[in-house]
Structure 1
Amino acid sequence: MVIMTATEPATAGTAQTETGTEIETASDAGTAPGPGPGTGSAPGAPAGPVRPVEALLLVDLQSAFVAGGEAVPDAARVLDRSRALLARARAAGALVVHLQNDGAPGTVDEPHTPGWRLHLPVAPGPRETVVRKTGDDGFDGTPLGALLTDAGVEALTLCGVLSEMCVSATARTALARDFRVVLPHDAHATYDVPAAPGIGESVPAALASRAAEWALGDDVEIVARAAEVTFTAARPGCGTGSRAGSRTER
């Protein structure tokens, strides 16, 4: 895990945004973190600026999870950071992918229910799309991998929910596919882990999110603030998928 410290100042389908607009989609089915294991750096030690990334993955920013009484505790913060990341990614011409979970019948994110709708507006076009999924991993059974490779993406950042589930699973597969992954600490969130008799007391959501970061291992780049992340346009034909196995370690 690389810890970056803060500097000062598909099958065709449809997705529905908060406004109810149907769009075409692609589908196949606050504490700065300490150093990661093996980094050899002290907590808070400068690690240099964050290199730009070519893609933004917004993970499951659906109304069921980020709006209303059942939202994750830090929904307002995550939405604020995600909006800022989205604006910068669009301005830079980076690839933007909104991951949207299709829950099972009767669940809060069952397709075409209010909770399933994406909370942030989508600007469909050649550099922005929606990928629908049915499990935690945004790559599993979806065209996400091909989208990233075809766009020339080598590095990406993620934001959204839930830290230990869909964010973690998608980040882990991206790392396994040799993408460089940047995860802003203040741009993902989850729920409190409830107490379990005979197992342990409840775990605050913030601690669960931090543990999810730590569990991703040595290759992920954790940055304290989403404001640290910068974007650049990718070059088609130069993506990670076309050079598997040639990643340069930092």
Structure 2
Amino acid sequence: MKEELHEIGDHLSPVDALVVVDVQSAFVQGAEAVPGHEVLLSMISVLLTEARSAGAPVIFLQNDGEPGAVDEPSQPGWQLHFPPLSGERVLRKAGDDGFEDTDLDDILEASGVHDLAICGVLSEMCVAATTRAALELGYGVLLPHDAHATYDVPAGPGSDGVPAAMAARAAEWSLGDEVCICASARDVRFKGRI
């Protein structure tokens, strides 16, 4: 069983790797970007800088949307916003869970990863599904609050709409007590490998 993430004094224990979920052009650029995408991108940039400086593994998940979807493969919206550096992995997926039908678990295991930070979009879909799967596989997961986002949830039968920020917080809440949530990407540290 992998160690559980915990706070040491005022600081979180460092994590081994970073998983960036579906940070693709369609979701973070232009008029159709998730609300607050500027802050989201700046916080993911902080995580990438921190992970790369430590030499921690960085894995990008890239969603292959259905034909006609904004993230349809090889269309402009499908492109990753942050270009991966040499040695960083890109795993394409067709569903919400980044572990399903991908080599993510094998890559993390081969890299000696026990604890990881997860960031990206959409909070209640791919971020939550990938986080749940990681927890089920025994990984410790750190989810920085300001490094994941989603869209406003429209009103449904007998219900009001939900603003994006509240939907993202509800997604965190739905993950239960096993996930470690911190306020900011600025609080995340990675174990050095260089």
Using the size of structure 1 for normalisation, the TM-score is 0.73
Counterpart of 1:90? 52
Count of residues in Structure 1 that have an aligned counterpart in Structure 2: 191
Q: Deviation above 3 Å: which 4+ runs of structure 1?
A: none
Q: 1:57 aligns with which of 19, 42, 51?
A: 19
Among all aligned residue pairs of Structure 1 and Structure 2, give the percentage whose two residues are the same amino acid.
57
1:96-245 residue pairs with structure 2 within 5 A?
96-125=58-87, 128-198=88-158, 200-233=159-192
Cα pair 2:98 2:129 within 8 Å, conserved: yes
Residue 150 of structure 1 and its aligned partner are, at CA, apart by 0.3
Deviation at 1:47, TM superposition (A): 6.6
- CA-to-aligned-CA distance 1:145-182 (integer Å, 9 cap, x gap): 00000000000001110000000000000000010000
> How much is the aligned-residue C-alpha RMSD, in angstroms?
1.9
Report deviation, 1:192: 0.3
Can you give the 5+ residue segments of structure 2 that lack an aligned partner in the other structure? none
Tell me, yes or no, if the aligned pair for 2:21 and 2:118 is still in contact at 8 Å: yes
TM-score (norm 2): 0.94
Check the 8 A contact 1:59/1:99 in 2, yes or no. Answer: yes
* Structure 1 equivalent of residue 41 of structure 2: 79
Q: Secondary structure at the match of 1:65?
A: helix
Which secondary structure state, in structure 2, belongs to the residue aligned with residue 160 of structure 1? strand
Distance in 2, matches of 1:149 and 1:135, equals: 21
Q: Which runs of 5 or more residues in structure 1 are unaligned? A: 5-45, 235-250
User: Between Structure 1 and Structure 2, which shows a larger proportion of helix residues?
Assistant: 2
Please state whether the residue corresponding to 2:91 is helix, strand or coil.
strand
How far did residue 49 of structure 1 move?
1.3
SS at match of 2:50: helix
